[in-house]
Each structure stands twice: as structure tokens, then as C-alpha cells.
Chain A
Amino acid sequence: MALSEFPRLGFDPFIELRRMQSEMNRLSSGFGATTARDFPPINIWLGDNSVVVTAELPGVARDEVTISLQEDVLMLEGKREPKLQQDNVNWQRRERAYGTFSRAVQLPFRVDPEKVQARFDNGILEIELERLEADRPKKIEIRAA
């Protein structure tokens, strides 16, 4: 960093420039990681002893997505396929993505696999999971001496 003579003078007009440059490098190196989104995009909602995971899955039918749970990791897997009624078509715009997808979601606590509810409406998958009874925080009373 100390490439210029200016530090000896007590100020360095290039410090800000170098800081900006390293900031730009940092931004551009991480650019792909932030724009290439994982599919499906998810939102997580936290309640007292339960968690709700919602995912945007437009065009995916109920039987085309598999939900599985292992310890505190929720897996969403499936396949998006173009459903064409005819073969001989002239494409004008293809913006929707197709193919297999798989996404692991780390939950904030261990959940009871027996108490999982999933709903799928209008392309939004909603999974509600309850915290395992044994995993819940326990209040400890202090005995009087």
C-alpha cells in the first residue's frame, strides 16, 4: 500500500483512490455469486417454536416437487419442463428457465418430522415445520438456598 511518497507529508490523496479500487475489485469478484440466484428463491419466517419456509415455484405441479427433511436440513428437489402442446413452434421469447433443481435449506433448529405441513398454491410452496420438543429452550429455576 505504501507506494507513494505522501505518507511522509502527513496526507495521501491516493488513499481514497486505492480504497475505491479495492472496493470495486471486491464488488466485481462477488458479482456472479449474488446475481446467479439459487432456484427456487426462498423466504424464511420464524415463529416462537416453528418456522415457515416459502418458495417461488411457478409452473411446477404439486407432484413435480419432492420435499425431504434430514435433521435440520430441508431439501427441495424437482424438475421444470416446458409443456408444449405442439412441436413445430416458432420461438419469439424464451425467458423462463427449465431443468432440474435442488436446494438445501438450513433451518435454525431441529424440527419434528411428524409435524410438517406443506401447501402449494398459485406457484408458491409453503412449508411449516415445528421445533422438536426436546430441542426447545428450557427455563431453569434457581432453587432457594
Chain B
Amino acid sequence: MAQEVRTVDQRSPTATENPARRPNRPAFVPPSDIYETKDSIVVLAEMPGVAPDGVDITLERRVLTIRGRSAANEHGGYQRVYNEYADGDYERVFTLSENIDRDRIEATLKNGVLHLVLPKAETAKARRIELKS
């Protein structure tokens, strides 16, 4: 299971202990898919506008923090006339209920979607217990 920790509000930047967050930029909660397979937990988070070097992922004990900084979307000589989405950063925190093998975590970013594979630690995998006769 992955439980979300609500540390960020959708559109109001709060004073959390995040030095990377720039002022005057909203922090969005990236819509995420999370699924569990036999031996890993997979997180897919939508962060359009974030380049691979703008992603920051930390796992501290069972708290997984995902942060993304999107590049400034400015067009010189152009004027913004219509707006449906805002530029901003992304932040989301989950608490995982499984122990993760942190040496084998894989993270890729493709087309603005973060793909995170968190392999379960050996101890967390279910073991069949045989009854002794």
C-alpha cells in the first residue's frame, strides 16, 4: 500500500522545509497511478514540463518524496493571451507500507511522466510457511 501524506496544498505554496521550491511558483500535486506487482511497487506521476535533471526523488525510511521543477515557459516577444494551465513545480509525498530494496530503485522520465519502480525488499515478500506434521 502507498498512503499519501498531505503536505502540500494544491495551489498555495506553503512554507515546508523545501529549499528547492522557488517563491511565487505554485506547487502542483502530480496525478499519479500506483500499482503493485508480485515483487515491486510502480509509481507513475504526470509532471509535464519537467526535464530529467529537474526531478528529485528521496526515500527516507518509508516516506517517498517526489519533486519536479519545470522549466520556465516563457516566449520572448510573445504575450500570453489564453491560459488553461499554469507553470509550476510538482511535489507529492507517499508513505509506503512495504520495505523497499533501495539499491535497485529505477526511475525514468519519459514524455513528462515519471516512472518509478520500487522493488520490494526480500523480507517484505510473502513467504509460504509449511506446516510441520
Contacts and interface: CB of A to CB of B under 8 A. Distances in A.
Nearest to A54: B73
Nearest to A53: B82
Contacts of A121: 51
Interface in B56-72: 70-71
Contacts of B82: 42-44
Interface stretch (A3-11, A23-31, A84-92): A84-92
Most chain B CB inside 10 Å of its own CB: which residue of A48, A52, A120, A122? A122
A57 interface: yes
B78 A96 contact: no
Nearest to B97: A92
B34 A92 contact: yes
Residues of A in contact with B, size category: 35 or more
A95 B42 CA distance: 14
A82 B84 CA distance: 24
Interface string B24-61: 00000001111111100110101111110000000000
18 contacts: A43-B82, A43-B84, A43-B85, A44-B82, A45-B75, A46-B78, A47-B75, A57-B111, A58-B111, A58-B113, A89-B35, A92-B36, A94-B33, A96-B32, A96-B46, A97-B31, A123-B49, A124-B49
